[in-house]
Structure 1
């Protein structure tokens, strides 16, 4: 900051900068306008103005995923905060360190018994903090400038440490109030393991795994939250085990590694992969979460007594739990203790079913989902990211073989349709190098479509494939009804509407293989947003979606056993 005069708002801005944030996402409202002025006074931060609060939250989610650090979103009180809530809940479920910031009513209003706009019509202004307390790791209200530095630092520290969202509410008349200078500090700390617990866990795990004939290593989604991906990859190189990833951990292990089998997802696993995992005599899971979605309706068949499970801050072997064990330190210590073993790799080679991409058809052949994803496969490079929306894109994305270094993004734990549009904005702005490719269904797109205009405004350059099949395909396969059919839009035409003659965005519609090939070639030669609407038959979907949807529907439809 150019001035030595520090306010609560400028203090917050400096702390966001020190935490590694470059862009923050905002929607203005009268309770946060002074705060936005203070944030704008920091030249090292850029405000990204979004169309609504939900989308801004989704964008902050995507930004944090791209940068590996925290993100920030700023909204107004109540009408803004409660619109943001769903995105913050998703970030909590997905272990995304988002800093949700809200303006708040004047500190004098409650004492003077004032009824205020944007509120619930009662003289009670603490409800937003109370609501956010359920979906954040820390929720604070700042009503005095002298208390702001401690509260802000603690909240940001909590977000970084726990990899969860936090909530900071700053009263409208406090944002520009004088406060302490922000003394330089680090927010990158991690607690260390208890040495005795760590040593005992490593000894136990090494004994179990080294005694096995066919051990398997499986990556789970909590590995990223634990910041243990580098340790997991080093272990994978050293141990020689057969390797697999749960669906929401795709790309956490190198898919170019010779021992990588594919996705472990119960009945919809990569062919041969599920059978090898379930038959293994020892399993090393890193950060798994066994939900109805990740297990296809709780259909995993591995023997739990044979599993070593590394959680972010503990390790579990059968009925024995070792607390205060950090995942990355546990995996690092195991790396030097495990005897290389490719027994399960050899077993997989005997049952492996090679996957074949469909050969291109004639130029006038109507498009199919398999032909679309065959083209996406050829577009991916080592610095690419493939982001997929809830729906059929999940399952087609799982069939993609990622080049070493490429990333895959999915919101499987929370599964909020529409997440991908805002997340694409944030990810594209936060990503360093390479191209983001997003696959979004038409039903999901209709929930959050307007944020495409923000991508155009800030020169984001993803390639978006809009899959137009006339409805909510994933819901159709779980439970069909007339509510799964949607009104068709001229999706490609929206690029002209949202651009209004400005920006570098380009859009087109493809109905045949020839049109798709031409569209991809054009997109790869452009440096702005490219939007390709792909027309697909309503009943054309990945066969694994049919299998998965049937199992999830059965799990949802179990008869009531309560008496």
Structure 2
């Protein structure tokens, strides 16, 4: 044991081993000393945020691109500020390590009335709250640190959900032995006998189907199974659709991709292919109201073969443990390939071929805006779409090859995507990030724009200014004051929050003005580009307009 190697070092080394190279958070006196070790660590960079909620959102965005993320806050006030972001990561299966710096063990053992507590001598209130939105929790001591750090981090990696680590200020610097094996040596593996039995039973049902289809969702991306899904699709020849929560899990420019399924709000072709299929290979799917047109899907559950992260299920039979990637590979070799003409596949690319866009001297509408943004995107971009007009406008917009799509349709916490953009861009600085966000959402987390400018990152941000909470207006209270917000001088904010030479801003009202801004955005790729797009407050994407009516009825 080396006295120079500490529990703090051990935790940071394990995080770096899992690919975490940035630490988000806000300093507080219960984490300051540990932050010195973060600063000194050769593989992890400290990213200070404007507040803890933004730090949690940023960590979520980072993990969606990078595979895992971490943030640290102080006890009580800091961790409660972050809990909403952690809950979102839990709901949408995003692996985030939440570290809380706590008072010393002596203070807690003696029940002292210290700051950032409820003044009752108890120190487990907030960790108890975190048990509801994390899959593993621990309170580190000198004796349990190595075992507990490994247990909790492996659970985070495996379950793709947040975990909570309490790190007392008098524990982080205690000596510990360096790890002697890889953390992922203990990862869950498929059982060979289970896979063999699954291959005996399941392919027969698939091969006998007349209208098979693949329906993919967000767990494909969480478990990095995109390549396995692509191989499975190409070996079977089956058409592929995704739900909007899993948008970009499959290459949307691929000839087998038919579109995004939204229940009976889908295009007639996609709805028919899914709802009338006699065999749906469902890969990583969770059916929620926002992505099924308010639970309007009409396919029979008896026709669904479920491929989940660690199991395959058909009717009442479950095959486990069988990882998603192993299951897709195994099935690929056991299913008879079909010809495209036999399956009558109409690719999304061919469905969109008749559409063209020419800018006119007219005000920008939601429909025309998303038509133009589809052409603005590059291969390998990261597209973030805030819940609301941005998400539902982008949900059916075709994406170029290797684009990553980030949205939050299940948790739906407005303001999420701006800090998430900070995380997703830092996760891979070589990829262009494009954010679509409304004015109402932007006002919740706008200050994180300053962190982006501080970090010299260069995304393209489209601020859709439609004068308030458009989604809420569509659901209830169209003209009520609670759906109004104060108008800001949005285009001036980048210069207020950071050096003027790091950003370029535009305010556009017409299609011609938007076109000019997009051309300059392409040319000024070494700057953060901020484009305020003015739209009418009552204008909304067609998908959102219909879905909001269903949400209104659902709330009665």
Question: TM range, normalised to the smaller chain?
Answer: over 0.9
Q: Counterparts in 2 of 1:34-113, with a 5 A limit?
A: 34-67=33-66, 69-113=67-111
Q: Secondary structure at the match of 1:331?
A: helix
Superposed CA RMSD in Å reads 2.0
2:275 to 265, 278, 294: 278
Residues 426-441 of structure 1: pairs in structure 2 closer than 5 A: 426-441=423-438
Q: How does 1:19-418 map to 2 (within 5 A)?
A: 19-67=18-66, 69-142=67-140, 144-183=141-180, 185-187=182-184, 190-342=187-339, 346-347=343-344, 349=346, 354=352, 357=355, 359-362=357-360, 364-418=361-415
- 1:6 aligns with 5
The number of equivalent residue pairs is: 551
Report if aligned partners of 2:96, 2:162 keep a CA contact under 8 Å in 1.
yes
Give the CA deviation at 1:199.
2.3
For 2:42 and 2:239, the matched residues in 1 are separated by 49
Q: Is the 8 A contact 1:459 1:503 kept in 2?
A: no
| Contact 2:258–2:346 (CA under 8 A) maintained in structure 1 | no
- How does the TM-score come out when normalised to structure 2? 0.95
Report the CA distance shift for 1:497/1:23 in structure 2 as closer, same or farther (over 3 A): same
* Partner deviation per Cα, 1:492-537 (whole Å, 9 max, x = no partner): 11111101x3661222211122221222122222212111110011
Q: Secondary structure at the match of 1:267?
A: coil
Structure 2 stretches of 5 or more lacking a match? none
Q: Secondary structure at the match of 1:492?
A: helix
Give 1:324 shift: 2.1
Structure 1 Cα separation of the partners of residues 18 and 250 of structure 2: 27
Check whether the contact 2:290–2:409 (CA below 8 A) recurs between aligned residues: yes
User: Of residues 463, 466, 486 in structure 1, which corresponds to 2:460?
Assistant: 463
| 1:279 CA drift (Å) | 1.0
Distance 1:78-1:188 versus aligned 2 partners, 3 A rule: farther
* Matched position secondary structure for 1:508: strand
Is contact 2:77–2:116 with CA below 8 Å preserved after alignment? yes
Matches of 1:279 and 1:185, distance apart in 2: 47
* Larger deviation, residues 400-409 vs 42-51: 400-409
Q: Deviations over 1:305-324 (max 9, x none)?
A: 11111111222212333332
User: Contact 1:214–1:344 (CA<8 Å) still a contact in 2?
Assistant: no
**Structure 1 gap ranges (5+):** 558-563
Segments ≥4 residues shifted beyond 6 Å: none
TM-score, normalised with respect to structure 1: 0.94
| Corresponding residue SS for 1:58 | helix
Match of residue 517 from structure 1? 515
Whole-angstrom distance in 1 between the partners of 2:187 and 2:7: 27
Deviation string 1:347-401 (CA, Å, 9 cap, x unpaired) is: 4549985475463343x32112223222211222221111100001122212321
Q: How does 1:478-557 map to 2 (within 5 A)?
A: 478-481=475-478, 482=480, 483-499=482-498, 501=499, 504-526=502-524, 527-557=526-556
Q: Is the 8 A contact 1:358 1:371 kept in 2?
A: no
